[in-house]
């Protein structure tokens, strides 16, 4: 009985350690440094924009780039809504660039790389949700390398997702599992958005 109990506890501990490890692996972060722009991808309830605005206010870059379209062609692009939040928070409109046509992370990366190259911006801080940061980094790295650009990863301060506990509640669990599936497809060469 004691051997069974020890085996059970070891197995349970191993599973929890694996789940926590997955959360921290997704939550990719680089040391912060000055850049030409801060890029925030749309797709959450506001943590991405708030984190990008905070970085701008701390002086990490003179320009904010918000990227993301709308699933409904009749609606305002998500990037435009992020811009409005930034202006309301005190960021001058002329310090913000909106890329409002992309519908996937891959398109975010392509269009932001084109936009930055055209604007003469060479480096960026990439802000997205922690569970999305690793996949976004893979896609942005591919596009930025082609364009001769560089970026650092800075996951948003998202109170709704915790790298240690993502698997214990919804919607964190579903968001993370979907992200892992998309990462798997990306690595397999299927290029999910």
Domains of the chain are 31-159+169-187 (3.40.50.620)
State both tokens at 179: 């992200």
Residues 6+ apart with CB under 8 A from 46: 85
CA distance 12 to 57: 44
Tens place of pLDDT per residue across the chain (193 aa): 778 777 777 777 888 889 999 999 999 999 999 999 999 999 887 999 999 999 999 999 999 999 999 888 788 999 999 999 999 999 999 999 999 999 999 999 999 999 999 999 999 999 999 999 999 999 999 999 999 999 999 999 999 999 999 999 999 999 999 999 999 999 888 666 6
CA distance 184 to 26: 12
Q: What is the DSSP code (8-state) at residue 36?
A: S
pTM for this prediction = 0.92
- Dump the DSSP string for 65-124: EEE---SSTTSPPHHHHHHHHHHHTT--GGGEEEE----SHHHHHHHHHHHHHHHT--EE
CA distance 190 to 193: 9
């Amino acid at each position: 009985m004691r051997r069974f109990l020890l085996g059970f506890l070891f197995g349970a501990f191993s599973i929890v350690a694996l789940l926590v490890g997955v959360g921290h692996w997704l939550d990719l972060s680089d040391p912060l440094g000055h850049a030409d722009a801060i890029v925030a991808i749309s797709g959450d309830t506001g943590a991405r924009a708030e984190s990008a605005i905070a970085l701008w206010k701390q002086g990490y870059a003179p320009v904010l780039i918000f990227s993301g379209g709308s699933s409904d062609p009749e609606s305002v692009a998500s990037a435009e809504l992020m811009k409005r939040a930034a202006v309301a928070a005190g960021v001058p409109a002329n310090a913000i660039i909106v890329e409002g046509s992309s519908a996937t992370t891959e398109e975010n990366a392509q269009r932001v790389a084109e936009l930055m190259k055209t604007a003469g911006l060479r480096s960026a801080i990439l802000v997205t949700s922690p569970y999305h940061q690793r996949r976004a980094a893979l896609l942005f790295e591919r596009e930025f390398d082609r364009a001769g650009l560089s970026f650092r990863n800075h996951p948003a301060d998202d109170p709704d997702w915790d790298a240690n506990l993502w698997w214990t509640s919804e919607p964190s669990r579903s968001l993370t599992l979907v992200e892992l599936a998309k990462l798997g497809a990306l690595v397999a060469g299927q290029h999910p958005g």
